[in-house]
Structure 1
Amino acid sequence: MESQNFTHGPVSTNRTHVSALPVFMFAGGAVGNLVAIVVLSVSRQDRKSSAFYTLVCGLAVTDLLGTCLASPLTIANYLDARVLQQPRLCEFHSFLLLFFGLTGLSIICAMAAERYLAICCPYAHERWRVNRRFAQKFLLSTYLSHALFCGLPAMGMSRSALQPSATWCFIDRGRAPVAAAYSALYGAGSLLLILGTIVLNLAVCGALLLMRRRTARRPRGRASVRQRWRALSSAAETQMIAVLVTTSVVVLACSAPLVVCLFTGLMGDQDPDADLAAIRIASVNPILDPWIYILLRRSLFRRLLRLRRGRSPPRSHVFSHLVSTANIITQLPAAGTSPPTEQGLKTRRTSMDET
């Protein structure tokens, strides 16, 4: 009897202690994403009208919804272990993890594709009218299609199961043909999105490096106004790429362990501890994402570039000067209009530095 009490005491205390972790994660994810949405909402109108920042805002809203819907169930289950034992709540919890995990990967891949088109295929970007309205339609279609796909287990295509740790629900990776087929399809889709994001990011970074090399080699005094304006417009993509690459690294690093556990479970090598660690790593993603948008604002980005310009060697001074004026991209003239004069560029750059 004494041994039983000794065993139950630490277990109960440990459960109460661990239940504080989801509370802090919920608060961090909710507050961070709310601040990020506010920061994106008060941005300049020309930035808010771009497809890239519409997708960034869509990712912040997705992270906020995922945190506010999934975390309360997790907290309730820590307080009462019978919560996720109810079939309907278990299916709903599994749907939330499936939906928001796949949707986040899709939006990140779309952000990489948009930057690839804007930098490597600008004519296609303009012809297809990849703007704010296009991004909004993409987000709506993504939500609808992913909701239908992730709702298939609740419709009988597979089934959700309470995982061995009894703290979260996910699709059953058993040997039943239908369940195995759905798990393989979900894992393959997630893996393709991860690989697509990596390839697109590498292509974009490679294109920017080529632009930097060409700009550094161009004679500064002999370049015409139009050539300098085009150099400024290409260098201005750097701030968007910083947001894209940093967000991609965080999302892929948090999502990859769960995808790996999904495939290992299909091969019969299911490790409950590894699965629990993977889902906890995936839960950190909505907490880290918003701080990328907050910290990589253009005002802070320009300050960092000024520090870098002061420490950089003379041969890279031209490129640093071009990158430090990255905000000029938002005021590029429309097609068919004449480029600004040297005096106009100098005046605009001075006013932006003052702000």
Structure 2
Amino acid sequence: MTVNCTKYDPFDSSWVPVCIEFCLGTIGNILALVILWISRRHNGWRPFDKMFAGLALDNLLSIMLTDPFIFKRYTSGSTWSYNQTLCDFNSFLLVNNHLSSAFLICAMSIDQFLIAREFEKETGSSGRREGKRYTIMVFVLMIVSASISLLYVTGLSSSRLVYPETRCYLDFICREPYIFTSLSISLILLTVIFNVLSIWKFYKNPYLRSMARYSRTGRNQCCSNMSVFVVVISVVFFVLWTPFLVLMIVPEALDEEVLLWFLRIANLNTVIEPWLYIFLRREAFGRIVHRCIQSRRGYAPLDSTPGT
């Protein structure tokens, strides 16, 4: 478990980027989960909320369980290193986070397409979309993702240290992870296809366009905002993760410093996704801040209207 690198770039050996990523990612995902929890009183647990809650929880666990080891590596002056068990554990967490994010974002894209199709028929959201089935689906997707990741780390492949030995990931140089890369590409293609179909349905249907243009409150505007969010988060995920995925498919072009930066870029999804959601729900976030200020001043919280 060695890395063929003898010269360390000072910036690559700095703890500052990891500290910024840890702080923004932790705060962002916790705030997103708090907004989801508080908003459930007005909107209930909609399918979108359940899927994004799974995404935010997975991002938070990945950050809090992997970054402490990176800090330990930096604070030890690069003398401490992973043993094989910790390297496998770190690799499992990162692989599982990437794969589960792809599953859940693809599921959200499909769900938004189904919503657009239902509104196109002017039937609204039917009761069949509610209930426990979406909760079960989120758990199933996360279990499948964890099983595939564990299978690769413990059987189909092995883990390797990534320069400057602060992270571990699949050793895709010695053995290409065909199932992982094929599944990842399929999920990205499905996400792109269903997002394009949703945009096309929105563009061609005057009812959907007028719904977004004239409805300022209520469920219609909420669905419109969620559709925009899913498209944006899909584009961000595609842009940030695809370079690293390409590097896994073509390992001949591997350079240790390039691998480090592509992995860092891919991990930015855990930071950007919750802050995009907070921006979408900025009115709900503002009400939470307002209530906190009122509580500290000893005032009773004001009645709030349902948020988007």
Which position in structure 1 is the counterpart of 2:201?
207
C-alpha separation in 2, matches of 1:68 and 1:90: 16
Cα deviation for residue 165 of structure 1 reads 3.3
Is the 8 Å Cα contact of residues 110 and 194 (structure 2) preserved in structure 1? yes
Q: How does 1:214-225 map to 2 (within 5 A)?
A: none
Which position in structure 1 is the counterpart of 2:89?
92
C-alpha separation in 2, matches of 1:57 and 1:248: 16
Cα deviation for residue 45 of structure 1 reads 3.2
Cα deviation for residue 149 of structure 1 reads 0.9
Cα deviation for residue 144 of structure 1 reads 1.4
1:254 counterpart = 2:240: yes
Which position in structure 1 is the counterpart of 2:53?
57
Residues 19 and 195 of structure 1: CA distance in aligned 2, closer, same or farther (over 3 Å) = same
Cα deviation for residue 34 of structure 1 reads 0.7
Higher helix share: 1
SS across alignment from 1:162: strand
Cα deviation for residue 153 of structure 1 reads 3.2
1:297 counterpart = 2:293: no
SS across alignment from 2:169: strand
Residues 243 and 48 of structure 1: CA distance in aligned 2, closer, same or farther (over 3 Å) = farther
Is the 8 Å Cα contact of residues 92 and 149 (structure 2) preserved in structure 1? yes
Cα deviation for residue 148 of structure 1 reads 1.3
Is the 8 Å Cα contact of residues 51 and 138 (structure 2) preserved in structure 1? yes
TM-score (normalised: structure 1): 0.69
Cα deviation for residue 37 of structure 1 reads 0.9
Cα deviation for residue 130 of structure 1 reads 2.6
Deviation per CA, 1:199-238: give whole Å up to 9, x if none: 111100111112237866xxxxxxxxxxx99xx9766631
Which position in structure 2 is the counterpart of 1:281?
265
SS across alignment from 1:129: helix
Is the 8 Å Cα contact of residues 36 and 293 (structure 1) preserved in structure 2? yes
Is the 8 Å Cα contact of residues 153 and 170 (structure 2) preserved in structure 1? no
The residue identity in structure 2 corresponding to 1:165 is P
Residues 116 and 20 of structure 1: CA distance in aligned 2, closer, same or farther (over 3 Å) = same
The share of aligned pairs that are identical, in percent, is: 25
Is the 8 Å Cα contact of residues 12 and 164 (structure 2) preserved in structure 1? no
Cα deviation for residue 163 of structure 1 reads 2.6
C-alpha separation in 1, matches of 2:91 and 2:169: 4
C-alpha separation in 1, matches of 2:50 and 2:115: 15
TM-score (normalised: structure 2): 0.78
Largest Rg, 1 or 2: 1
Residues 82 and 88 of structure 1: CA distance in aligned 2, closer, same or farther (over 3 Å) = farther
RMSD (Å) for aligned C-alpha atoms:
3.4
Residues 126 and 243 of structure 1: CA distance in aligned 2, closer, same or farther (over 3 Å) = closer
SS across alignment from 1:156: helix
Is the 8 Å Cα contact of residues 258 and 278 (structure 1) preserved in structure 2? yes
C-alpha separation in 1, matches of 2:261 and 2:244: 9
Q: Show structure 1 runs of 4+ deviating over 6 A.
A: 122-128, 213-216, 232-235
Cα deviation for residue 49 of structure 1 reads 2.4
C-alpha separation in 2, matches of 1:215 and 1:166: 51
C-alpha separation in 2, matches of 1:241 and 1:293: 12
Deviation per CA, 1:239-263: give whole Å up to 9, x if none: 1112111211222222112111111
Higher relative contact order (CA 8 A, sep 6+): 2
Q: 1:73 aligns with which of 69, 73, 76?
A: 69
Which position in structure 2 is the counterpart of 1:336?
none
Q: How does 1:1-355 map to 2 (within 5 A)?
A: 14=10, 18-45=14-41, 47-80=43-76, 81=78, 83-120=80-117, 129-175=128-174, 179-180=175-176, 183-212=177-206, 237-265=223-251, 268-297=252-281, 299=283
C-alpha separation in 2, matches of 1:296 and 1:245: 12
SS across alignment from 2:187: helix
Gaps of 5+ in 1: 1-7, 217-227, 301-350
SS across alignment from 2:128: coil
C-alpha separation in 2, matches of 1:33 and 1:50: 18
Residues 35 and 235 of structure 1: CA distance in aligned 2, closer, same or farther (over 3 Å) = closer
Is the 8 Å Cα contact of residues 70 and 96 (structure 1) preserved in structure 2? yes
Deviation per CA, 1:105-154: give whole Å up to 9, x if none: 11000000111112225789978923252221111111211111111134
C-alpha separation in 1, matches of 2:57 and 2:275: 14
C-alpha separation in 2, matches of 1:186 and 1:11: 30
C-alpha separation in 1, matches of 2:247 and 2:279: 32
C-alpha separation in 2, matches of 1:125 and 1:174: 49
